[in-house]
Amino acid sequence: MKILVINAGSSSLKYQLIDMATEEAVAKGTCERIGIAGGKLTHKAHGKTYEIEKELPDHTEAISLVLKELTDQEAGVVASMDEIDAVGHRVVASGEAFTKTTLVDDGAMKLMDEIKDLAPLHNPAAILGVNACRKVMPDKKMALVFDTSFHQTMPDYAKLYAIDYDDYKKYQVRRYGAHGTSHKFVAGEAAKYLKKKPEELKIITCHLGNGSSISAVDGGKCVDTSMGFTPLAGVPMGTRSGDIDFAAVEYLCHKKGMTFDEGLNYLNKKCGMLGVSGVSSDFRDLSAAAKQKNDRARLALDMFEYDCKKYVGSYMAVLGGLDCVVFTAGVGENTPAVRTGILSNMEAFGIVLDETKNALPNDGTIHEISAKSSKVKVLVIPTNEELVIARETAALLA
Ligand code: ADP
């Protein structure tokens, strides 16, 4: 059985064609910089890397290019779409409409459309991905795999907002979290690496990418996470503000003459690293600008690292101790300076980085970057949301 996994993010689209007999990807790749200049597809198959530079104005263009590449005479891995048994789609937000992996049909897509505003940068991208695939492969079974499932174990006192309880019940407004497949995967990998059972470990997982979230995982179960009702909450991100005093939003809307919808669009698309730096939402651009003494790029990075540090500290208190911190996703896996910024000056809490190990480039394997003297292990673990999604899709079809 071969399962095509589509992971449509806000500025990137990752895909893997996974052979479930081996759980290996026979082809995988990434579309980068979707919606910003300099689009590129990197496709890996047959031990080779194929790079295509092409502007990718939206996710439909990106998926079309991926399907073309998968069936390409040279770079492709299947003769036709018939060799792909099913498609698993990553979906960021489920609300309470979906609590688990769900088969794609018209009814499910109607529900998806109703909840798309929960993650305005991601759910619409996932819908575009599903619709494009249904068009090209109408007979193929497809699954929706939700990031929110892993966070279902949060206790009420962590997942509820302090609003009228009846309103929570009626409108289901609460913290749902995101990136659940990633947090689940890296927490599991950390346990394997440390040769412990997940039940024995207290782990903080930091999924830091264009969108970022941090989770507290106690005994293999998520007990708190930084994202909220939507992925707008938590630490500042590429273009999202992260946590902000709600009264400040009302004040800004009033002063800038924005409607509430415009205010939300502003917070989702024009704030975060992009808004503070005025340079870019992309951490590579920010790091380069900061090196050239751009003060606002430095400020954006400082703010990001400071907020992540606050989550790590508060989750140590929530967990009542800590065995391991995991960094994953685009920024977490590739940016040593950000990891240093987050975990510096935490020796009093048993966290000490080995800067030589921390500086090693990401080679796609697990790196232990804590010093020998560190009580808390610090690991860089490449995430594999696609494998979790493929497993979930295969299980649903079975
Ligand atoms: P998302 O899936 O949320 O779009 P990613 O996890 O792909 O985001 O992360 C995107 C971010 O990671 C960008 O800010 C980018 O600068 C950073 N990033 C990705 N790859 C690298 C790399 N090789 N080196 C440095 N930063 C990287």
Report the pLDDT value the prediction gives residue 119, as an integer from 0 to 100. Answer: 75
The amino acid at residue 301 is L
* Angle (nearest 5°) at CA 186 between 96 and 329: 85
Answer yes or no: is the C-beta of 396 below 6 A from any ligand 1 atom: no
Which atom of ligand 1 is nearest to 12's Cα? 4
Contact 19, 34 (CB under 8 A): no
Answer yes or no: is the C-beta of 282 below 6 A from any ligand 1 atom: yes
Which atom of ligand 1 is nearest to 332's Cα? 12
* Residue pLDDT tens, the chain, 398 long: 999 999 877 778 889 999 999 999 999 999 898 788 898 999 999 999 999 999 988 777 888 889 889 999 999 999 888 899 999 999 988 888 898 899 999 999 999 999 887 777 788 889 888 887 887 788 889 999 998 989 999 999 999 999 999 999 888 899 999 999 999 999 999 999 999 999 999 999 999 999 999 999 999 999 999 999 988 999 999 999 999 999 999 999 999 999 999 999 999 999 999 999 999 999 999 999 999 999 999 999 999 999 999 999 999 999 999 999 999 999 999 999 999 999 999 999 999 999 999 999 999 999 999 999 999 999 999 999 889 999 999 999 98
Report the pLDDT value the prediction gives residue 116, as an integer from 0 to 100. Answer: 85
Separation between Cα atoms, residue 94 and residue 80, nearest integer Å: 32
Contact 214, 226 (CB under 8 A): yes
Taking each helix axis from N to C terminus, what angle separates 123-136 and 59-70, rounded to the nearest 10 degrees?
40
Residue 147 among the catalytic residues: yes
Catalytic residue selected from 19, 72, 147, 261: 147
Structure tokens at 40: 């590129």
Q: What is the DSSP letter of 257?
A: T
Separation between Cα atoms, residue 272 and residue 13, nearest integer Å: 21
Which atom of ligand 1 is nearest to 238's Cα? 14
CB atoms within 10 A of CB 360: 12
Q: What is the pTM of this model?
A: 0.85
**Is residue 223 classed as helix, strand or coil in its secondary structure?**
strand
Separation between Cα atoms, residue 320 and residue 329, nearest integer Å: 26
Give every strand in the sheet of 40-45, ordered side by side: 48-53, 40-45, 24-32, 13-19, 2-8, 86-91, 141-146, 102-103
Answer yes or no: is the C-beta of 284 below 6 A from any ligand 1 atom: yes
The amino acid at residue 31 is C
CA of 332 to the centre of ligand 1 (A): 8
Separation between Cα atoms, residue 240 and residue 185, nearest integer Å: 25
The DSSP H or E segment spanning 213 is strand 212-218
* Angle (nearest 5°) at CA 227 between 183 and 243: 145
Please, which residues have CB within 8 angstroms of residue 167's CB and are 6 or more apart in sequence? 173
Please, which residues have CB within 8 angstroms of residue 134's CB and are 6 or more apart in sequence? 104, 140, 142
The DSSP H or E segment spanning 306 is helix 295-319
Report the pLDDT value the prediction gives residue 129, as an integer from 0 to 100. Answer: 83
